Amino acid sequence: MKQVGISPEIPADARVLVLGSFPGRESLRQQAYYAHPDNLFWQFMEELFGIRRSLPYRERLRRLNRLGIGLWDVIACCRRRGSLDQDIRRGDLEINDFNTLFRRHPSVAAVFCNGGLAHSLFERYVVPRLPPSFRAVAVVKLPSTSPANRYMGYAEKLEAWRRLERVVRGKSQP
């Protein structure tokens, strides 16, 4: 049976979109992005933007949205056992509708992909189908915040994620 992802959490004036591949088991259960307690996403948002991870999920999301950051996933639905990206069956996954997203949110200037799979799927399935006017959106690959990503240490991952902070605060281009 196919699993369906979580609804997008994107403010009307979003400037930046953070994309995962597909929510893990705990995120699906809670219907909350990055809900696994060992996922570093909300810890990074606390370090970068002062959004305390101890706040209720809806309040964290509200504060993130106020910064012009939206959250979504590349995959709309798929078959997968467990929570790992490597367990996603590639043959029958469905990609979210990014053409509609960019039409509704023309202010999005950068997409930050949370991990390699999100980035490769976005580049392979989304970018070629975008109208030319949307292809100017910068696409940045960041290291996955998933607890399964053990290829980098915490400090190295956080340093890479500082690129998001610099763009959101207007200190650099994507």
Q: Residue 55 burial (CB < 10 Å; 0-12/13-18/19+)? A: middle
Residue 10 lies in a domain: yes
Residue 174 lies in a domain: no
9 vs 151, higher pLDDT: 9
Residue 87 lies in a domain: yes
> What CATH number is associated with residue 87?
3.40.470.10
Residue 77 lies in a domain: yes
Residue 93 lies in a domain: yes
Model confidence, pTM: 0.93
φ, ψ dihedrals at 9, nearest 5°? -120, 85
| Residue of 39, 65, 99, 149 marked catalytic | 39
Residue 173 lies in a domain: no
Domain count, the chain: 1
* pLDDT tens string 3-53: 899 999 999 999 999 999 999 989 999 999 999 999 999 999 999 999 999
Cβ proximity of 99 and 47 under 8 Å? no
Q: What mean pLDDT is reported for the chain? A: 92
Q: Residue 98 burial (CB < 10 Å; 0-12/13-18/19+)? A: buried
Name the nearest CA neighbour of 91 among 68, 75, 114.
75
* pLDDT tens string 55-79: 999 999 999 999 999 999 999 998 8
Is residue 96 flagged as an active site residue?
A: no
Using only the alpha carbons of the chain, give its radius of gyration. Answer: 15
Residue 48 lies in a domain: yes
Residue 143 lies in a domain: yes
Structural domain for 48, as ranges: 3-168
